[in-house]
Structure 1
Amino acid sequence: MAYIADPQNEEEIRSASFETRLLPWRKGYGTESLNAIIRFAFDSLGYRKLTATVTAGNIASKRLLLKSGFRQKGVIRQSYYLNGEWRDDWVFGLLADDYHG
């Protein structure tokens, strides 16, 4: 599943999400889906940057984002509470000027 939310506001905050747990792994579907979202956001919608958050420790998602041109920007410590513990998120960013897809 993939979507882009586009709330029209002055901060230009947009959100994109995709989920690959139902797709066969290691066949390129995640990369293909993410790159389609990126191209659509930059080329069709005119976004200038994208931000992604991933649960810290999710190496597969980190690898996917880095492969698609995102750069790791930092960590949001104790981002959310799940199953009795606080979880961190990794933050990634990609500027339209830096995308070579």
Structure 2
Amino acid sequence: MTTTSTSLGYKFSYDYVTNGWYDHINGGDYTAEQQAAIVKALTNAQVDEFEALLPESHYWLIHTSELQYPVGDDTETGDLEELLRQSVEAICTRLPEIEAEALATTA
């Protein structure tokens, strides 16, 4: 399958998303290693949540801030900023679980 991509802008970038998660967990008594593990887990979970809201064969390439999809696919994706907000909300409700799993890997 041949794919193409569309630039999504800074709000969909790895730096923007991870900085947001660092800000969200800031104030906890975590080591730098623990913070990095938690933020990585939160970011990966958010990408999964966001992609679950997208049409099939659409993927968020967070490291390049792009949406990848099949060439010629004109499926409506909806309001991507709203989907991003929904993905953050979903992860916030699962934060204790994700945090516990991430901390277990750093022990």
Scaled by the length of structure 2, what TM-score is found?
Answer: 0.30
More helix by share: 2
More strand by share: 1
Answer with 1 or 2: which has the greater Rg.
2
